[in-house]
Chains A and B, each alone.
Chain A
């Protein structure tokens, strides 16, 4: 589960979700605003996240695994920099008629981007690891994120697993009758069939959910439920996060001008 550890009881778990959401955004913003190729200003960000990680008792394996899952997207971009960025070649590869230069500047650029990506992803993972998803949604509502967007997220979270279960059952049903020896063509076609059926089932389910909502008086507007408010500790946490983001930006300006 996305928020498997979110039901914990540490001090960070007990913070207000809106405060944690804004804090995460501030940290990400600070990280992103650090100038290109500057590593030093990222250190306070990493340190702050390490503290959050430790206080929230988030298992390291959990974080690493999730980082690994989302890394390919960043990797696809990062991996091109060393060969596309012009500069002093460190390494030259001959590929038939082409030569590829891996440049020092390119490597630095790639490393810097990877670091920024990892820090931003880490911050988001920590938010989700120490806040239950429904609380994140409530926080977003209080931050005046458009209701339609929050509701969309809520439905996604609610039905993603139902849909995955459905896919799993259909695949099992197929596998149960599949000796594994059929020609690829047949297996591919049946895969397409599963997708088509999934689409139709999803469509039907959407209709039934709408009925269930309409049966209870849904008229297109969603009313916000009961809400809490920020306490001193939440403001302190938020101020800390903003300070870290500010420190990153100031360091960047101070050291690199």
Chain B
């Protein structure tokens, strides 16, 4: 098997205000794999994403694309880990869409023509050509979500990590997102409660509960196991429930 692109061993984190959010997460993801991270609210899924990028300093081993995460390597790690936050208004902070998408490539120190290539490629990937000079504030929720994804795609990260990518999207926006994610070739981590989306996009599902990995396996098996899902505050995806 190929060298894992993401490796976690006994990752622990306690918030300064008390609760222990991660209680020893161990996980390994192969290149090109698509993994859904599911679990009840407060299970530690979002904290885990923040820990991967070094925004919260967790104990234990985190290796991203061959870089072991430490205070000194956080910037290298973030080059390879494209994090898309839940609220697109946090992700899109520049006055124009094009500036926002160029932000990552520019801070990576790429040459101007390469930046332009990346920006157009990213806009094309999310189907937002012609939106270059639009202000993020004027975009719809779905467009914002796609623009937020483009800001990260332009950096061509080895791993894409998305926090609740389908939250607040209407069915059509959600369907477009699923198609878009399905067409990507990078390793994918999808955090969320949209089990139907995860069933569509990810071959593998990991259930996180109370800061630990509670189950890890093929999406078809895990997401069709009603008992397992319900014991972790989840339900069968509608797509499967209808067939049972």
Asked if A93 CB lies within 8 Å of chain B CBs, one says no
Asked if A219 CB lies within 8 Å of chain B CBs, one says yes
Q: How far is the CA of A216 from the CA of B148 in the complex (A)?
A: 12
Using known A-B contacts A211-B50, A226-B112, determine if residue A216 contacts B90 with beta carbons closer than 8 Å: no
Q: How far is the CA of A10 from the CA of B47 in the complex (A)?
A: 51
**Partner pick for B90 among A161, A209, A217, A226, CB 8 A cutoff:** A209
Asked if A205 CB lies within 8 Å of chain B CBs, one says yes
Using known A-B contacts A215-B78, A217-B75, determine if residue A208 contacts B90 with beta carbons closer than 8 Å: yes
Using known A-B contacts A161-B137, A209-B90, determine if residue A217 contacts B104 with beta carbons closer than 8 Å: yes
A215 touches B83 (CB 8 A): yes
Q: Which residues of B contact A75 (CB under 8 A)?
A: none
Q: Which residues of A contact B197 (CB under 8 A)?
A: none
A158 touches B78 (CB 8 A): no
Q: How far is the CA of A223 from the CA of B94 in the complex (A)?
A: 12
Asked if A133 CB lies within 8 Å of chain B CBs, one says yes
**Partner pick for A216 among B78, B87, B95, B133, CB 8 A cutoff:** B78
B104 touches A205 (CB 8 A): no
Q: Which residues of B contact A205 (CB under 8 A)?
A: 87, 89-90
Q: How far is the CA of A132 from the CA of B99 in the complex (A)?
A: 14
For the complex formed, measure the closest distance between the CB of A5 and the CB atoms of chain B, giving whole angstroms: 15
A216 touches B152 (CB 8 A): yes
Asked if A225 CB lies within 8 Å of chain B CBs, one says yes
For the complex formed, measure the closest distance between the CB of B109 and the CB atoms of chain A, giving whole angstroms: 9
Total residues of chain A contacting the partner, CB 8 A: 26
Q: How far is the CA of A238 from the CA of B174 in the complex (A)?
A: 49
Q: Which residues of B contact A154 (CB under 8 A)?
A: 94-95
B93 touches A158 (CB 8 A): yes
**Nearest 10 CB-CB pairings of A with B:** A216-B104, A217-B107, A134-B95, A208-B90, A215-B83, A223-B106, A212-B91, A134-B96, A209-B90, A212-B90
A223 touches B107 (CB 8 A): yes
For the complex formed, measure the closest distance between the CB of A128 and the CB atoms of chain B, giving whole angstroms: 14
For the complex formed, measure the closest distance between the CB of B162 and the CB atoms of chain A, giving whole angstroms: 12
B-contact bits for A122-150, CB 8 A (1 contact / 0 none): 00000000001110010000000000000
Q: Which of A162, A211, A216, A223 has the most CB of B within 10 A?
A: A216
| Residues in B191-217 with C-beta less than 8 Å from chain A | none
B-contact bits for A2-45, CB 8 A (1 contact / 0 none): 00000000000000000000000000000000000000000000
A209 touches B75 (CB 8 A): no
Given contacts A208-B85, A211-B53, A216-B155, 5 further A-B contacts (CB under 8 A): A211-B85, A214-B78, A215-B78, A216-B104, A226-B116
Q: Could you name 27 residue pairs across A and B whose Cβ atoms are closer than 8 Å?
A: A133-B95, A134-B96, A134-B99, A134-B135, A137-B95, A154-B95, A157-B95, A158-B95, A161-B137, A162-B137, A205-B87, A205-B89, A208-B90, A209-B90, A211-B85, A212-B93, A214-B53, A215-B81, A215-B82, A215-B83, A215-B85, A216-B78, A216-B107, A216-B152, A217-B155, A218-B103, A218-B107
Asked if A155 CB lies within 8 Å of chain B CBs, one says yes
| Residues in B65-93 with C-beta less than 8 Å from chain A | 75, 78-79, 81-83, 85, 87, 89-91, 93
For the complex formed, measure the closest distance between the CB of A222 and the CB atoms of chain B, giving whole angstroms: 9
Asked if A213 CB lies within 8 Å of chain B CBs, one says yes
